[in-house]
Structure 1
Amino acid sequence: MTTPVRLVFSDVDETLIRCKSMFDFLDFYLGRTHGRDGTARARAVRERLAALAAAGTPREQANRVYYRAWAGEPADRVTAAGAEWFARRAAAGSFYVPATRDALLGHLADGAALVLVSGSFPAVVDPLAAAIGATHVVCSRPGARDGVLTGELVGEPVIGEAKRSAVRRLLAAHPHIDPADCHAYGDHVSDLPMLTEVGHPVVVGGRELARRLPGGVFLPADDGVTSPVGD
C-alpha cells in the first residue's frame, strides 16, 4: 500500500450511513433466523436499551448490553448475514449519507487512508469498509468460543474515549502524518473525543455536537452543504 498523506477518521451510524446499523442488523438477523421469536427478541433488546438510555446509562455500558443479545449465535452465520444485510441495504438509494460518502471518497482520491471508527461490529462494518475503500476498521469486537458468540466483548466498546485512543494509536503508527492535517467525521457527542484529536473535525447533522465544537465544520446530513459550525 502507498504511504498515506493523511488519515481520515469516520464514525459509521448516522454519519456515513443513515441507519443505526446495530439495531437494523439485529432486526434483520433475528427476524430472518428465528422468525417471530427473533423479531420479539429484537424488539425486547430495543426496548431495554431505550429504557437504559432514558435512565442515563452510559453508552459504553449499553453497548455491552446490546452484544449480550448475540450470545449463542454462530459467528460464521452472523458474518455471512452481515454481508447479505450490507448488500441489500447498500442497494437502496437512501443507505448512505451522500455528503459524507462523497467527502470520504474525495479524501481517498487525494491520497488519504480512511479509518472507520464505530461501536458496531465487524459483521456490519467490514463489508462497508471494503465498499468505501477504508484501510482500517476500529470497532467493538464480540468474543467467541468454539465458533459461537459469547455475548461479551473482547476489550472495550469503541465509544467515547475509546475513539480518542484509537485515533492516537493510528497516528502514532504513522509518525510522518501531522494530526493537524487529518480529518474526522462524527454525528454524536460521543464522537467528540475523536473529533478533537484532528485539525479538521466535521460534524454531520448533529446540532448538539456542533455547539460543542466551535471552529469545526458542519455538514448537514441531507443536502451536503458545508458551513462553519457557528452558522
Structure 2
Amino acid sequence: MTSRSYLVFADVDETLIHCKSMFDFLRYHLTGRHGAAGAAEHDRLLAGFRQAADAGTPREQINRDYYAAYAGESAATIAAWGERWFADRAAGGLFIDTTRDALRAHREAGAEIVLVSGSFPACLDPIARAVGAQHMLCSRPLVEADGPDNPGGGDTYTGLIETPMIGAQKAVAVRRFLAARPEIDPRDCYAYGDHPSDLPMLECVGHPVAVGDAPVLRALLDARPFPNPLEHQL
C-alpha cells in the first residue's frame, strides 16, 4: 500500500456483503411490514425484474424500476427499516470478511473509503458506518419538494432516482470524484468489484481487485497492463 494519501472504491453487493442489498431489503421490508401480502408483492416485483432482465432490459432501467416501487413512501420510514434490516443481517454474517478486512487495513493506512453501489442510502448508510466509509456514490431516490401545497413532501419518495449507479455510471462517478481530489493520484488508488460490469470502475485506478469467484473479471483484468497482477485477486 502506498505511503501517500489514496482512495479505495468498493462495490458493495457480493463484493463487501454476501447478498444483493436492494432485493434482500425489499423482501425484508415488505414482509416485515405487510406479512404474507408483502411477501407476495415482493415475489411479484422480483418476477417482473427477472422477466425484464431475461428480455434484455438494460440494468439501468431495472434499477429505475426497482425504485419506482417506493413511490409515496416516507424516506424516514424506509431508512428506519434499513437500520433494522442491517442489524438483523449483520448478526447473521452479512459481510464478506476478506473484503471487510482489506478495507480496514486500507483505513488504518490512512485511505478514505468510498462505497460505490446501485443500492441506496437506506441500505448503505449502516454499512458505511460499519466499515468506516467516508463517502458513498450510489443511487439516490428523489423526494417530493416541500411547499405550501405539499407540506412535508420532502420526506416522500417520488419513485424516481438520479442517475442509476450501475455499470459504466460507476466509472463516471469515480472519475468525477477523483477529478475533485487533484491531490490524489489515481494510480495510488484501489478499487474492489466482483462482476464484469465493475471493470470500467476498476480501470479508473492503479490497483484493481477482483473479489470472489469472478473468472471473467479476473481474465479481463489480467489482460490489462496494471502494475501488479497479484493485486487483482481477493
Q: Which amino acid aligns with 2:22?
A: M
| Aligned residue in 2 for 1:122 | 121
> What does 1:11-50 align with in structure 2 at a 5 Å threshold?
11-50=11-50
CA contact (8 A) 2:138 2:165 kept: yes
| Aligned residue in 1 for 2:106 | 107
Hey, what's the Cα distance between the residues in 1 that align with 2:38 and 2:105? Answer: 40
Hey, what's the Cα distance between the residues in 2 that align with 1:194 and 1:118? Answer: 11
| Aligned residue in 2 for 1:57 | 57
Q: Deviations over 1:42-84 (max 9, x none)?
A: 1111111111111121111110111111112211110011011
Of 135-144 and 169-178, deviating more is 169-178
> What does 1:1-231 align with in structure 2 at a 5 Å threshold?
5-92=5-92, 94-145=93-144, 146=153, 147-153=155-161, 155-205=162-212, 206-214=214-222, 227=230
Give the helix-richer structure, 1 or 2.
Answer: 2
Aligned with 1:116: secondary structure? strand
Report the Cα offset of residue 228 of structure 1.
6.3
- Unmatched 5+ stretches in structure 2: 145-152
Q: Deviations over 1:160-195 (max 9, x none)?
A: 121111111221121111101100000112211110
- Unmatched 5+ stretches in structure 1: 217-225
Hey, what's the Cα distance between the residues in 2 that align with 1:100 and 1:165? Answer: 23
In the superposition, the TM-score normalised over structure 1's length comes to 0.89
In the superposition, the TM-score normalised over structure 2's length comes to 0.88
Equivalent residue pairs, number: 216
Hey, what's the Cα distance between the residues in 1 that align with 2:77 and 2:68? Answer: 17
Of 187-196 and 202-211, deviating more is 202-211
CA contact (8 A) 2:116 2:170 kept: yes
TM-align CA RMSD: 1.7
CA contact (8 A) 2:208 2:232 kept: no
Aligned with 1:19: secondary structure? coil
CA contact (8 A) 2:207 2:232 kept: no
Which stretches of structure 1, 4 residues or more, deviate above 3 A after TM superposition? 226-230
Structure 1 vs Structure 2: percent identity of aligned residues?
Answer: 53
Hey, what's the Cα distance between the residues in 1 that align with 2:36 and 2:200? Answer: 40
Report the Cα offset of residue 89 of structure 1.
0.9
Q: Which amino acid aligns with 2:210?
A: V
Q: Which amino acid aligns with 2:182?
A: P
Q: Which amino acid aligns with 1:209?
A: L
Q: Give the direction of change, closer, same or farther, for the CA distance of 1:228–1:148 in structure 2 (3 Å limit).
A: closer
Hey, what's the Cα distance between the residues in 2 that align with 1:172 and 1:62? Answer: 29
Hey, what's the Cα distance between the residues in 1 that align with 2:185 and 2:230? Answer: 24
Of 46-55 and 7-16, deviating more is 46-55
